[in-house]
Structure formats: C-alpha cells, structure tokens
Amino acid sequence: MTQQGRQVMIELSTSIEDNGNVEKSQMKHTAEFFQKGKLDVLRYEEQGEDGSLTNNLITIQPEKVSIKRTGDVRMNQQFQQGQITENMLKHPYGSMHMETTTQSISYKAPTDHSEGRLKIDYTVKLNGQDERSHEIKLTIIEEGAK
C-alpha cells in the first residue's frame, strides 16, 4: 500500500570516537517521510555553512539502511548488520574511499502516537586509515506525536 509522503521533524545526532576523543554533532531538519511495505524513506535538504545544499535520502529496510547524499557532498553509504560495505565520499575538496563495518542497526517506525527511532553503530576507515567508531541516532517526530 502506497501512502503520500508526510512532513515530519527529524533530530539527527552523530558521534565519532577517534583515539579516545569524541566528536558530537546534532541537527534538526524538516523531512518528508514515506512508507511502502517494509520500506521507509526519509528525504530532506541540508544547508552548509557556506550556503551549499545537500539532498539526503535515507532508505530503511529490515537489516539494511542506505544514506544517499547528493549535491556538494556525494555518497551512498550502505549499512548491513555484520557486513563490510564500501563507497566513495566526494566533496569539493576531493574524494575518499570509505569502508564501513556495521555492528548494529535498530529501528522503530514512527506512529501517530510515538516517535520513530533509528540507531546505527558502525566503524569507518577513510582511505585505509585507522578505523573510527561512529554512532548515528535519528529521531523521527510525527506531527501530533507526544
């Protein structure tokens, strides 16, 4: 069954641990949320400090999440629990090879009465350098959800 996309608010928190140092960031965006069968999709635009725009498409399936970014920053990062995936991160300053190892993915879809939550724990090696631990926490807030 296909549904119209609906507007939601998302809160995206990321943390990267590198040799004991933790870098955290948090963003809020308005997004479009679509559901079709066992596939959930979030689409939103992100504006950089320099005014550049990046379009983000997050596709959530059982056991698999994909984050596709297009614009000044381009990548198609795949997360599959217990798997190693590879892609290229392209930005105005050059390209980097990314090797992602996903430890865990947990997801609860949003409803009219509760927030949706996506959490991914993974490591990344950029251009063959030492791996760093990453965590993504994404909260999806439906209008009217409490």
Banded model confidence at residue 112, pLDDT cuts 50, 70, 90: confident
**pLDDT(1) > 80:** no
More confident residue, 13 or 63: 13
- What is the reported pLDDT for 44? 96
* Residue from 48, 87, 84, 80 nearest 61 by CA: 80
Domain range annotation of the chain: 6-142
Banded model confidence at residue 71, pLDDT cuts 50, 70, 90: very high
Banded model confidence at residue 5, pLDDT cuts 50, 70, 90: confident
CA distance 86 to 48: 25
Which CATH number is associated with domain 6-142? 2.40.128.20
- What is the reported pLDDT for 145? 53
| Span 26-35, average pLDDT | 95
Secondary structure class of 97 (helix, strand, coil):
strand
CA distance 7 to 72: 24
Two tokens at 47?
A: 């504006």
Strand 21-36 to strand 6-18: parallel, antiparallel, or no bridges (unpaired)? antiparallel
